[in-house]
Structure 1
Amino acid sequence: MSITRRTALVTGAALLAAPSVHAQARRLDILSHRVHQNVLTTGAAGDLTGEWRRANNAEIAWTTADIGPLQDRLLREASLPQTDFGVGYLLNSRATQATANLLEPLDPLLSAEPIANYDDIAPGLREAMRFGGSTAAVPVRHATNGLFYNAAMLEERGVQPPRTLEEFVEAAKRLTYRPASSAPVVGLVMTASLAAYPVIFARAFGADFITPDMKVIPDPAAMIRAVAVIRDLFEAGALPRTYATTTNEDQVTWLQQGRAAFAILPFARHAQLNRPDGSRFPGKLQVMEFPVSASAPAGTRMAATVEFWSMAIPKTARDKGLAWSFIRAMSSPEVTLGSARNGNGPIRLSTYADPAFAAENAVAALEAGALSRARPPFPAFPEASRAEAIFVEEVQSAVLGRKAPDAAVADTIARVRPLMPATT
């Protein structure tokens, strides 16, 4: 077949034009837990990344891992001279100043291309992601603790939901009993292996373990009272004899089976706890904010303990513009609401006020109130794990009667202070 000069010119022009007509999609590599991918791509609200992918002609490559390997991989990638990962999910307990130094400072991006209604994101979460006055990551998912109770048991024993810590302690004691036709009931089931639980009691007195500005137990007297309350519950039998080995999942099981009247768990557990196929008391396991002490300073409000995830950009990421575009889009009010419908713990307070979401979430208003004041059990720093282990050990010693509460608090201060960052 002969090819004329005109045919050759037309064919060549078409070939040259082909790359622009069929431009290759950009690719955003994301390092996350599988749950982060799922709440953005599957569920009642569908795939929430579609509009962003079409607008940016971009594909998303998800790399998922369990929490420990995920966080280790993120730090390794961020330490490289250059990384393909544009977005990494960061757990608050791993968000130290050293980690922040490996991440892109976000304030210039927030100023140039703001996240819509950024102040709507819970303040305690936003502040925990600031280091040296600079924002290192944007919160995206949380689990905030509340006080669950078995309303059927409270009604049976003539007990009202407690309004103060003192009323709660009395209720837990009254609800430590043996029903006529079932197993013994303890007032409160609580794990001893995490600092978050004694911290909740401390905050009921207006105290804390380590404050956001890195002060270790600044109010020892209030902390002593908090530890003494837990010890009193144990001595009264209102905590299980297995307190020292109780796990988080034990709390769920004991509450569902009617072996405990109270438990401290994330608000998000409400639907699971009340499922008819898993609970002896469907619809009767209610939740409230943990009550503060009547002796707390005037105006004290409970600062619930919270754990949360944030989205960050490694400082050496190849395409920071595309990464920031993704974070902005996934942090919008619309996507936050959609991901909540897909099972995410929404970090925007306005999400809980959405009529449709509130209609599907019986504890929306309560959780929003708790989230508005929530902050992590303690700030992240290099020796935080050791500090938590020491605090847990000392509290257990006091609760089990091996050490007086005042001695446990004094020993915690003496052992933890040397672990604090040198600048504090």
Structure 2
Amino acid sequence: MLLASACGGGNDESSGGTSTGGALEGRGPINFATGKDTSGNLTNQVAAWNSQHPDEKVTVSELPESADQQRAQMISNAQNKSDAFSVLNLDVVWTAEFAANRWVTELPPDQFPDLGKLLPSTVDTAKYRDKLYGIPVTSDGGLLYYRKDLLDKAGLQPPKTWEEMVTACAKVKALPEGKNVGCYSGQFEKYEGLTVNFSEAVNGAGGVVVGDDGKPNVDTPEALAGLTALTEGFKTGFIPKAAITYKEEEGRRAFQEGNLLFHRNWPYVYAKAQATDGSSKIAGKFAVAPLPGQTGAGVSTLGGHNYAISEFAKNKATAADFMKFMSSEERQKANIEKTSQAPTWASLYDDPTLNKQFPYLAPLKASIEGAKSRPKVVKYGDVTTAIQEAAYGALTGTMTPKDALAGLQTKLSSLITQ
């Protein structure tokens, strides 16, 4: 029922998505709705706020791990005009939908003076029709995690193309230490992660899902090359069969257990894979590189999360201050030190201490700055569902990549209107 409500109904782009953008009023306790805290550090961040604001305490409502289920519960809450959620932790691609449907409050930019110190691409994700509806707290760029110890053993450098990655895996599997290691995985379960991985495959082959003109353009030779690389990966075993069920955490666990040579995932994985408490079998044995593409460097899909204020929330002044607190340079630095999640403050990528602790920061910044956004559309729920259906059909062999892309082009053309 929740998923049905998420994909249907609501206003379309003609609603305008305009809020007052006026003063944010009301102080007192608030509720923070967020996805499952896989980092383990959110409790510390919220506790830091609560210790300083005993009369404006924040209670965390932890939603499911799946982004699709998070979105569904937030939409259900909004459609019921419930004040149960005050601050929403939104995936960056939900901004247009939540703003156009007036589920979140327009924010006065002058109340958030640090926006100019954030990476410009992250601020852009929080806007709809040039108006501000969220505050970027974490960003995300896809990275290629790889077993450096095994590549070194085979005398190899990290791959820059998909073909180099395939060749490297064959050489590593010829080693006694690598014969039982799977080659590669990303996120291929039928959920938002598949939209991300499909988009990266298409963009990395020189194609687009939606062009700069806002029109879908996915039935192309470039898109076909990207999707075919994934389907052939499953057919040949380069991508293990089990990966069709992988979301972020399943893939992370497989990599940490030593079952994968290459793994596409987000920055948060670094801290967990490097843990020395016995939870990771590959601590000290892996490194990070940019995503490979078809003929050269790949293209990440832009990820991350923005905090927004529910239109139906009480105590919006407290909510705004909590968002400023959580997005501050101090809190973002504390968060990356504990979780390796990508910050939105530009200065943190140049921090010498952080670069020593997290040597991937330079390629991560490049990944974020060169990343492509998913379609910025009001009917995003329907659009991502269509992408997932097409990609999953091709990966599981129920349709050819060419037919999947042709059908997706038709579907997206009916969903995305200018």
What's the TM-score, normalizing by structure 1?
Answer: 0.76
Paired residue for 1:110?
109
Paired residue for 1:324?
320
Alignment CA distance shift 1:83-1:239 (3 Å): closer
Q: Report the Cα offset of residue 83 of structure 1.
A: 4.2
What is the SS of the residue equivalent to 2:240? coil
Paired residue for 1:125?
122
Task: Give structure 2 stretches of 5+ with no counterpart.
Answer: 1-25
- AA of the residue aligned to 1:115: P
Alignment CA distance shift 1:405-1:27 (3 Å): same
Of 289, 303, 309, the match for 1:307: 303
Alignment CA distance shift 1:414-1:26 (3 Å): closer
Distance 2:222 2:228 in 1: 10
Alignment map for 1:4-403 (pairs within 5 Å): 26-33=27-34, 35=37, 39=41, 42=44, 47-48=48-49, 50=51, 53=53, 58-67=55-64, 71=71, 74-75=74-75, 83=83, 86-100=86-100, 101-106=102-107, 109-111=108-110, 113-116=111-114, 118-175=115-172, 177=173, 179-180=175-176, 184-193=180-189, 194-210=194-210, 214-218=214-218, 220-276=220-276, 277-294=278-295, 302-343=298-339, 345-379=342-376, 381-382=378-379, 384-399=380-395, 403=399
Distance 2:70 2:231 in 1: 37
Alignment CA distance shift 1:406-1:49 (3 Å): same
Distance 2:182 2:306 in 1: 37
Identity across the alignment (%): 19
Alignment CA distance shift 1:212-1:324 (3 Å): farther
Deviations 1:24-71 (A, max 9, x none): x9414132237499756627x9825655x3xxx852232413147765
Deviations 1:250-280 (A, max 9, x none): 4223323333211111122112123341333
Aligned partners of 1:231 and 1:399 also within 8 Å: yes
What is the SS of the residue equivalent to 1:227? helix
Aligned partners of 2:267 and 2:342 also within 8 Å: no
Aligned partners of 1:92 and 1:380 also within 8 Å: no
Distance 1:58 1:372 in 2: 40
Q: Report the Cα offset of residue 211 of structure 1.
A: 5.0
Q: Report the Cα offset of residue 245 of structure 1.
A: 3.5
Alignment CA distance shift 1:60-1:400 (3 Å): closer
Distance 1:49 1:407 in 2: 54
Q: Report the Cα offset of residue 205 of structure 1.
A: 2.2
Distance 1:28 1:213 in 2: 44
Distance 1:324 1:352 in 2: 25
Q: Report the Cα offset of residue 304 of structure 1.
A: 1.6
Paired residue for 1:408?
404
Which of 302-311 and 72-81 deviates more? 72-81
- AA of the residue aligned to 1:30: N
What is the SS of the residue equivalent to 2:113? coil
What's the TM-score, normalizing by structure 2?
Answer: 0.77
Q: Which runs of 4+ in 1 moved over 6 A?
A: none
Q: Report the Cα offset of residue 148 of structure 1.
A: 0.9
Distance 2:37 2:248 in 1: 19
What is the SS of the residue equivalent to 1:191? coil
Q: Report the Cα offset of residue 146 of structure 1.
A: 0.6
Distance 1:84 1:259 in 2: 42
Alignment CA distance shift 1:220-1:48 (3 Å): same
Structure number with bigger Rg? 1
Alignment CA distance shift 1:397-1:288 (3 Å): same
Q: Report the Cα offset of residue 135 of structure 1.
A: 1.4
What is the SS of the residue equivalent to 1:148? strand
Aligned partners of 2:218 and 2:408 also within 8 Å: no
Deviations 1:191-225 (A, max 9, x none): 32212112112121232324576432357221011
Which of 259-268 and 28-37 deviates more? 28-37
Distance 2:237 2:224 in 1: 20
- AA of the residue aligned to 1:328: K
Paired residue for 2:8?
none
What is the SS of the residue equivalent to 2:30? strand
Alignment CA distance shift 1:120-1:173 (3 Å): farther
Aligned partners of 1:92 and 1:310 also within 8 Å: yes
Alignment CA distance shift 1:74-1:115 (3 Å): farther
Q: Report the Cα offset of residue 75 of structure 1.
A: 4.5
Distance 2:331 2:177 in 1: 49
Q: Report the Cα offset of residue 309 of structure 1.
A: 2.2
Distance 1:123 1:138 in 2: 12
Alignment CA distance shift 1:350-1:136 (3 Å): same
Alignment CA distance shift 1:418-1:351 (3 Å): same
Alignment CA distance shift 1:134-1:256 (3 Å): same
What is the SS of the residue equivalent to 2:307? strand
Distance 1:365 1:279 in 2: 24
